[in-house]
Amino acid sequence: MSGSVIPSVLQSSAVEESQSIRVETVMLDADVHTFVPGQYGRTRFVLPKRGTVLSPDGRLIWKAMYAGLAGDNSAAYPRDGGGHVAITQCWLYMDGKLLSHTDQCGSKAYIDSKFMPWDFQTEVADILEGGNRKYAYSQVTAVGADGATGVLTWQSDQRSNMRGSRCMTAGIAGQSGLECALHLKHLFPLLKDTLIPMSLRGELSVEIEWEGQQLSAVVEGGTQAYDAGGAWASAASRAAGYAVVEPRLCLDYISYAPDIDAALRSQVASGAGMVVPFREAVLVRSQLPASAAAQQNDLELGFSGRSVMKLYCQKLQATGNVASNAAFYGGAGTVVQNAMNQAKKTLRSDGLQNESIQLVVNNKSMYDRVVTQPSEMYSYLCQTAEAPFFTEPGSYGQIGTLTTPGAGAGVSFAQQIARTSAQVSQVAAAAINIPAIVQDELYQGRSRWLGFNLAQSRGGNDTPSNAVKIGASPIILRLNRSPAADPSAGDQTANDVRTNGAVNVNTWVEAVNMLVMRNGRVEIMAA
């Protein structure tokens, strides 16, 4: 196609050092912002036209508030991933045409963040995102602990990530909410591949959909009574508490030298124009049915005739730690957070019992044998980014059952690989077995994301030109498991659900689209 060569000024990965450039930073308030606690939130920005191109390094910034709490009670985003849980969908429009849409974009952006070095996650990302994923090895004295040294424990930020710098509670003296920021290029994968020319006609706008359900986004803490579902008994208080306020965009506009700027404007305005390939993360939803028998699930993902770069797969138990296992946690008044997990919430990916995977592309198996070992799954996940997937020890590979805690109960090996103190618990009741709770909700394979790199060649060539063309047959994800039909009497009830229950599967397929810019207008075509 005429004009398909991408000018260097539109490549987001590199800017020629010899170019004379100027960067202008703009802080933009929302044109429209609506947030109904307990229901939904929606924000719209109209971006001004400045400079030559829009940089991908802009950020979405917002403040999380939780009103109506006092005393010992507080609230925060989950420790791992922080504010990623706050966003459900995002849209990017130009001239009324949809350029990019990411469904469950917070979870997709979270995956990108996990390939950053651990020091960056804990020292930089946690501060920006409102998380707190630091851990240490130490001796812990807590109910159910055996006093062993060298156990894994959360490092506290003044009481369970809920006080101090990561608290969103307005009722605490000196606190006015939690400010968070996420990169636009992680919300809109298009911005990883190209810079958007500001000379295009029409309005450039961004829309954000916020998670309105408090239980899906917020970890509650303190000594208030909990109901049997793991939430505070006052539903009205919960519904009215959490809110997203003061959303804004921090944007960087790049201006090139006059001759380069004029040349780009001329090409975009011409009939020949230019064509820029970019990736789009398309979400495909599936479900594994509940079953006590071994399963082979062929999940048809589609994408026949499309060019595809990679896939990321998340598995979420449809049900989890609810009233049925209240006794395990010490009774209805002391149940820990609901099924969505206090450490990761909806950012987790649950490992399955006896899990195995295979991907069928163009009627051929991607791997020479079915992948059964977590170490192999982890290796293939790392290949999608040409970098390690940094996560907490035990959170990817460990799958198993827990010994039922209680007075005089022994401590299982599974409990020994992850410990914490009452500091990081949501409740203060002495009867709760803190090590077991944290081990199950964080380390028990709760970060087992799956990744598949379909690139024609590897070695750092993470570009749309390296995608694979899919033929007439759809991509098939083969996801198998062998649930335990009858867990032993010593296992907690949650393991019944975990091994036998339904599982929601979210698969993001990074497919290639073409950004066609001619006559000052923009069009989108599938590649």
How far apart are the C-alpha atoms of 509 and 65, rounded to whole Å?
34
Lowest mean pLDDT among 64-78, 192-206, 228-242, 356-370: 228-242
Task: Tell me what the mean pLDDT of segment 307-325 comes to.
Answer: 73
The 10s digit of each residue's pLDDT in 383-431 is 998 789 998 877 888 665 443 333 333 333 233 223 333 223 333 333 3
Question: pTM value?
Answer: 0.84
- Determine the pLDDT at residue 180: 95
Q: At 269, phi and psi to the nearest 5? A: -85, -10
pLDDT higher for 471 or 79?
Answer: 471
Radius of gyration over every alpha carbon of the chain, rounded to an integer in angstroms: 24
Beta pairing, strands 59-66 & 295-302: unpaired
pLDDT band per the 50, 70, 90 thresholds, residue 251: very high
Check if the beta carbon of residue 10 is closer than 8 Å to that of residue 230. no
Nearest-CA neighbor of 100 among 520, 527, 512, 475?
A: 512
If one counts every other C-beta atom within 10 angstroms of the C-beta of residue 303, the result is 18
The 10s digit of each residue's pLDDT in 268-291 is 999 999 999 999 999 999 999 988
Statement: residue 72 has pLDDT above 90: no
How far apart are the C-alpha atoms of 342 and 216, rounded to whole Å?
10
How far apart are the C-alpha atoms of 274 and 521, rounded to whole Å?
11
- Determine the pLDDT at residue 413: 29
- Determine the pLDDT at residue 502: 85
The 10s digit of each residue's pLDDT in 22-64 is 899 999 999 999 999 888 899 999 999 999 999 989 999 999 9
Statement: residue 517 has pLDDT above 80: yes
- Determine the pLDDT at residue 221: 61
Question: Could you give the 3-state DSSP secondary structure of residue 115?
Answer: coil
∠ CA 156-210-85, nearest 5°, is 30
How far apart are the C-alpha atoms of 31 and 42, rounded to whole Å?
11
Statement: residue 356 has pLDDT above 70: yes
Amino acid letter, 96: G
Statement: residue 1 has pLDDT above 80: no
pLDDT band per the 50, 70, 90 thresholds, residue 350: confident
Locus of tokens 């006092």? 70
Q: How many CA atoms lie within 13 A of 273 on its CB side?
A: 18
pLDDT band per the 50, 70, 90 thresholds, residue 468: very high
- Determine the pLDDT at residue 169: 66
- Determine the pLDDT at residue 316: 87
Those residues with Cβ within 8 angstroms of residue 320's Cβ, 6 or more apart along the chain or in another chain: 338, 339, 340, 341, 494, 497, 498
Statement: residue 173 has pLDDT above 70: no
pLDDT band per the 50, 70, 90 thresholds, residue 489: very low
Check if the beta carbon of residue 51 is closer than 8 Å to that of residue 255. yes
Check if the beta carbon of residue 69 is closer than 8 Å to that of residue 273. no
- Determine the pLDDT at residue 493: 40
Task: Tell me what the mean pLDDT of segment 335-353 comes to.
Answer: 68
